[in-house]
Homo-oligomer: A and B are copies of this chain.
């Protein structure tokens, strides 16, 4: 894990320990909390068209950033709970995607990830 994420992991562990919240932080519950935050993130965009989503006001951008922070906080806590190195896992996935979506056959297709 990166140094900044590692520091975040340690601070979150202390935060939860101070409040005796480890009992609630099962991986099952953390994965639930993560998707709840992902929903709050998406809520900002649900009625917005794609073009508008590329041109957020400063206020909206801040609000979106807070929801993204919540997603990251649960993701880091989940990775700590399961002893998973997030950045290594992400790099491995990126390498796998490079094989799965060769440049020449993937260029400009929107039906990329989930359709033949």
- List residues of chain A with CB under 8 Å of any chain B CB: 1-5, 8, 11-12, 15, 18-21, 23-24, 26-29, 31-36, 38-51, 53-54, 56, 61, 64-66, 68-73, 75-76, 78-79, 81-82, 84, 86-87, 89-94, 97-98, 101, 103, 106-108, 110-114
A-B pairs, top 5 by smallest CB distance, nearest first, are: A39-B39, A2-B4, A28-B53, A26-B50, A69-B93
In whole angstroms, what is the CA distance A40 to B39 when docked? 8
Across the interface, name the chain B residue whose C-beta is closest to A89.
B69
Q: Which residues of B contact A43 (CB under 8 A)?
A: 36, 114
Copies in the assembly, this chain: 4
Contact residues of A: prevailing secondary structure: helix
Beyond A18-B107, A33-B47, A34-B71, 11 extra complex contacts between A and B, CB < 8 Å: A24-B47, A24-B112, A28-B50, A32-B46, A33-B113, A34-B38, A34-B41, A36-B42, A36-B43, A73-B90, A75-B75
